[in-house]
Copies of this chain bind each other. A is one copy, B any other.
Amino acid sequence: MHMPSHMPPSPSAPPLYRRLAAHYRGAIEAGSLAQGERMPSLRSLMRLHDISLSTALQLCRTLESDGWAEARDRSGYFVRKPQRLQMMPMGEPAASTSFDPAQYVGIHARVSDFVARRRAADVKVNLSTARAAPQLYPAEALRSNMARALRLRPELLSGAPPLRGDLNFRTALAKRAVSSGMTLSPEEVLVTNGCIEALNLALRAVAQPGDTIAVESPTFYGLLQVLESLGLRALEIPTSPQTGLSVEALELAFQAYDDIKAVVVIPHLQNPLGSVMPDAHKERLVRLCESRRVALVEDDTYTELLDVDTMPRAIKSWDRGGNVIHCASLHKILAPGLRLGWISAGRWQARVEMLKYTLSRHNEVLSQIGAGEFMGSGAYDRHLRRLRAALRVQRERTAEAIARYFPAGTRLNLPNGGLQLWVELPGMCSSADVFDVALREGIAVAPGLLFSNSQRTNHFLRINCGWPYDDAVDNAIRRLGRIASTL
- A residues touching B (Cβ–Cβ < 8 Å)? 108, 111-112, 129, 131, 134-140, 142-143, 146-147, 150-151, 154-161, 193-194, 196-197, 200, 204, 208-209, 222, 225-226, 229, 231, 335-339, 350, 354-355, 357-361, 363-367, 370
Between A and B, 13 residue pairs with Cβ closer than 8 Å are A108-B354, A137-B158, A139-B158, A142-B157, A143-B151, A156-B337, A157-B337, A193-B360, A196-B361, A200-B360, A209-B209, A229-B355, A338-B364
Instruction: Report chain B residues within 8 Å CB of A140.
Output: 154
Given contacts A137-B157, A158-B335, 13 further A-B contacts (CB under 8 A): A129-B160, A134-B159, A143-B150, A157-B338, A157-B367, A158-B336, A158-B337, A160-B337, A196-B360, A229-B359, A339-B360, A339-B361, A364-B364
B361-A194 in contact (CB<8A)? yes
A160-B139 in contact (CB<8A)? no
Instruction: Report chain B residues within 8 Å CB of A108.
Output: 354
* Chain B residue with Cβ nearest A337: B157
* Cβ of A223 to closest chain B Cβ, rounded Å: 10
Indicate how many identical chains form the complex: 2
Instruction: Report chain B residues within 8 Å CB of A158.
Output: 134-139, 335-337
Instruction: Report chain B residues within 8 Å CB of A131.
Output: 160
Most chain B beta carbons < 10 A, residue from A155, A225, A337: A337
Q: Name the prevailing secondary structure of the A interface residues.
A: helix
* Chain B residue with Cβ nearest A148: B147
Q: What's the Cα separation between A208 and B225 when bound, in Å? A: 16
* Cβ of A478 to closest chain B Cβ, rounded Å: 26
Q: What's the Cα separation between A160 and B467 when bound, in Å? A: 13
Instruction: Report chain B residues within 8 Å CB of A157.
Output: 137, 139, 142-143, 146, 335, 337-338, 367, 370
Instruction: Report chain B residues within 8 Å CB of A354.
Output: 108, 111-112, 225, 229
Q: A197-B359, A197-B360, A359-B200 are in contact. Are A337 and B155 (CB under 8 A)?
A: yes
* Cβ of A392 to closest chain B Cβ, rounded Å: 20
* Cβ of A335 to closest chain B Cβ, rounded Å: 5
Q: A154-B139, A156-B337, A358-B222 are in contact. Are A366 and B367 (CB under 8 A)?
A: yes
Instruction: Report chain B residues within 8 Å CB of A150.
Output: 143, 146-147, 150
* Chain B residue with Cβ nearest A198: B360
Most chain B beta carbons < 10 A, residue from A157, A204, A350: A157
Partner of A139, one of B155, B204, B367: B155
Q: What's the Cα separation between A130 and B36 when bound, in Å? A: 76
Closest 8 interchain pairs by CB? A137-B158, A134-B158, A193-B360, A139-B158, A139-B154, A157-B337, A225-B358, A197-B360
Partner of A359, one of B137, B196, B336: B196
* Cβ of A60 to closest chain B Cβ, rounded Å: 33
